[in-house]
């Protein structure tokens, strides 16, 4: 049975990949966006020039409009989409958070499972964590060399969020294992390109399930005031499987994109002509989220026909249609952000970005990610005020992500 499932999944992935590459060769805008990992803003502007909602030849809908994206993200008839190329969840198989957690469900089930996950992200709780985040950042910086270059992405931006989310959840941080898990998850979320991506993800969820099942029983027997302890003893209670799926989603969502947000913020500060002024602005990270967000787009499916009246004209999304909401393009919509291609940490409306996808599926860890990046970057430049680049940064070759893989710097 496992070999048959693997074969079917491999067929789906390869067929989808072939269709996207054929669409790209034919010039389809959606296929180009889904396969191009270079700076995509020229493509976003092509979408914007064609109107508030564009249907591609492959049947995908695209919007670069801030107004349309914002209204669709908040619309109750817009739901989550299944991961392309992946098999449906097996209730008797390993728990897959990308198929059965609150992050991919809609309606009452989404709200029921999201509620205990949100217990660790209340504003007062997050504010109280700022000193702990600063301490963890300082410990990492103690280990980086001051007499030679180091890689900001791998030595600082990547491990810090793992330490923070482990601390929040109440886990012992296993940095090598957790980073391996994250790489497998990112490859699948970005759209599995090979059957190997799917196999690595299956191994990852099996390993993660073992950890979180053991944690569930531990917290049930010996309650602790960490997020996993609160979730294991939530009222109404979660089943063991629901706990595992929710804990895995919180873990991955609480880690994956934050290293890239830290990296993008550091790069923006290094490029800014007045570094001290940029660092002093409370809206620095919000402007990075507008100007260069880690997640460039997200997808939703219309659960019923949606009709919108906008200043740009009437917009209709047919029932069953999948819409790619270009969050990064919305952040540079000139109708909302004057001079949108200019990075301005003092921009008064930077917080109007859509980087965390407002609406029912608004990122549960948005506040933590923003706090982490703010504390991390200020701690970094307080320690190394003369920090400077020593080479060109590189990006992960994954469509839809602005994810620094390497940022060579020196103190």
The whole-number pLDDT of residue 13 equals 54
Angstrom distance (rounded) from CA 161 to CA 371: 11
- Asked if the model's pLDDT at residue 201 lies above 80, the reply is yes
- Asked if the model's pLDDT at residue 194 lies above 50, the reply is yes
- Asked if the model's pLDDT at residue 410 lies above 70, the reply is yes
Q: Give pLDDT tens digits for 215-241.
A: 999 999 999 999 999 999 999 999 999
The CA–CA distances, whole Å, from 240 to 89, 171, 212, 234 equal 16, 18, 9, 12
Angstrom distance (rounded) from CA 390 to CA 271: 13
The whole-number pLDDT of residue 284 equals 98
CB 399 within 8 A of CB 191: yes
Q: Give pLDDT tens digits for 153-184.
A: 999 999 999 999 999 999 999 989 999 999 88
Structure tokens at 22: 């054929």
Confidence band for 189, pLDDT divided at 50, 70 and 90: confident
The whole-number pLDDT of residue 27 equals 77
pTM: 0.93
The whole-number pLDDT of residue 7 equals 47
The CA–CA distances, whole Å, from 89 to 82, 127, 202 equal 10, 37, 11
More confident position, 18 or 155: 155
Q: Give pLDDT tens digits for 59-100.
A: 999 999 999 999 999 999 999 965 554 556 677 788 999 889
- What would the DSSP string read from start to end of 73-133? HH-TTEE--PPTTPPPP-TTS---HHHHSGGG--HHHHHHHHHHHGGG--HHHHHHHHHHH
Closest to 284 (Cα-Cα) out of 302, 271, 295, 297: 271
Angstrom distance (rounded) from CA 54 to CA 60: 8
The whole-number pLDDT of residue 11 equals 52
More confident position, 18 or 381: 381
* Length of the chain measured in residues: 411
CB 266 within 8 A of CB 407: yes
The whole-number pLDDT of residue 15 equals 60
Q: Which string of b and e fits 55-69 if b means at least 16 CB within 10 Å?
A: bbebebbbbbbbbbb
Structure tokens at 28: 């389809």
Q: Give pLDDT tens digits for 267-297.
A: 999 999 999 999 999 999 999 999 999 999 9
Across the range 231-257, mean pLDDT stands at 94
Structure tokens at 107: 């309606």
- Asked if the model's pLDDT at residue 197 lies above 80, the reply is yes
Structure tokens at 186: 């990112």
Contacts of 405 (CB under 8 A, 6+ apart): 153, 393, 394, 395, 396
The whole-number pLDDT of residue 18 equals 67
Contacts of 79 (CB under 8 A, 6+ apart): 106, 300, 301, 302, 303
Q: Which string of b and e fits 273-285 if b means at least 16 CB within 10 Å?
A: eeeeebbebebbb
The whole-number pLDDT of residue 9 equals 52
Structure tokens at 281: 């602005």
Q: Give pLDDT tens digits for 325-357.
A: 999 999 999 999 999 999 999 999 999 999 999
* Region class of 400: left (phi > 0), else alpha (psi between -120 and 50), else beta: left
Q: What are phi and psi of 304, to 5 degrees?
A: -155, 170
Q: Give pLDDT tens digits for 108-133.
A: 999 999 999 999 899 999 999 999 99
The CA–CA distances, whole Å, from 150 to 141, 175, 183, 290, 389 equal 11, 18, 21, 28, 10
Q: What is the mean pLDDT of the chain?
A: 91
CB 337 within 8 A of CB 290: yes
Long-range pairs, 202-208, Cβ under 8 A, ≥24: 202/94, 204/180, 205/94, 205/95, 205/96, 205/97, 205/248, 206/94, 207/177, 207/181, 208/181, 208/244, 208/248, 208/251
The CA–CA distances, whole Å, from 358 to 71, 208, 250, 289, 374 equal 9, 28, 17, 13, 21
Confidence band for 4, pLDDT divided at 50, 70 and 90: very low
Angstrom distance (rounded) from CA 289 to CA 291: 6
Q: Give the max Cα distance, the chain.
A: 61
Q: Give pLDDT tens digits for 361-403.
A: 999 999 999 999 999 999 999 999 999 999 999 999 888 999 9
Angstrom distance (rounded) from CA 58 to CA 39: 22
């Amino acid at each position: 049975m496992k070999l048959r499932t693997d074969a079917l999944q491999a067929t789906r992935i390869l067929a989808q990949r072939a269709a996207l590459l054929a669409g790209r060769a034919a010039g389809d805008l959606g296929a180009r966006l889904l396969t191009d990992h270079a700076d995509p803003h020229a493509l976003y502007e092509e979408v914007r020039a064609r109107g508030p909602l564009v249907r591609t030849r492959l049947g995908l809908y695209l919007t670069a409009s801030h107004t349309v994206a914002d209204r669709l993200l908040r619309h109750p008839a817009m739901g989550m989409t299944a991961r392309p190329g992946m098999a449906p969840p097996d209730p008797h198989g390993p728990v897959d958070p990308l198929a059965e957690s609150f992050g991919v469900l809609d309606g009452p089930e989404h709200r029921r499972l999201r509620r205990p996950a949100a217990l660790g992200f209340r504003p007062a709780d997050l504010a109280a964590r700022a000193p702990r985040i600063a301490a963890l950042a300082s410990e990492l910086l103690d280990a980086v060399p001051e007499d030679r270059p180091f890689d900001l992405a791998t030595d600082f931006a990547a491990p810090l969020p793992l330490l923070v989310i482990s601390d929040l959840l109440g886990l012992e941080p296993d940095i090598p294992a957790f980073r391996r898990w994250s790489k497998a998850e990112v490859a699948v979320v970005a759209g599995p390109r090979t059957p190997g991506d799917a196999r690595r993800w299956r191994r990852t969820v099996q390993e993660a399930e073992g950890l979180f099942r053991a944690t569930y029983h531990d917290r049930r027997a010996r309650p602790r005031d960490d997020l996993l302890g609160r979730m294991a003893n939530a009222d109404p209670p979660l089943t063991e499987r629901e706990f595992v799926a929710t804990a895995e989603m919180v873990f991955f969502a609480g880690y994956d994109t934050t290293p890239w947000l830290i990296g993008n913020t550091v790069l923006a500060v290094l490029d800014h002509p007045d570094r001290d002024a940029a660092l002093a602005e409370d809206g620095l990270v919000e402007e990075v989220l507008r100007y260069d967000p880690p997640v460039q787009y997200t997808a939703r499916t219309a659960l019923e026909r949606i009709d919108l009246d906008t200043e740009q004209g009437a917009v209709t999304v047919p029932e069953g249609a999948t819409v790619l909401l270009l969050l990064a393009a919305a952040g540079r919509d000139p109708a909302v952000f004057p001079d949108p291609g200019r990075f301005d940490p003092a921009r008064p409306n930077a917080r109007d970005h859509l980087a965390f996808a407002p609406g029912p599926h608004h990122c549960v860890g948005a506040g933590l990610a923003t706090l982490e990046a703010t504390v991390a970057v200020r701690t970094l430049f307080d320690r190394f005020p003369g920090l400077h680049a020593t080479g060109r940064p590189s990006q992960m070759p994954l469509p839809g992500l602005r994810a620094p893989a390497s940022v060579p710097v020196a103190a």
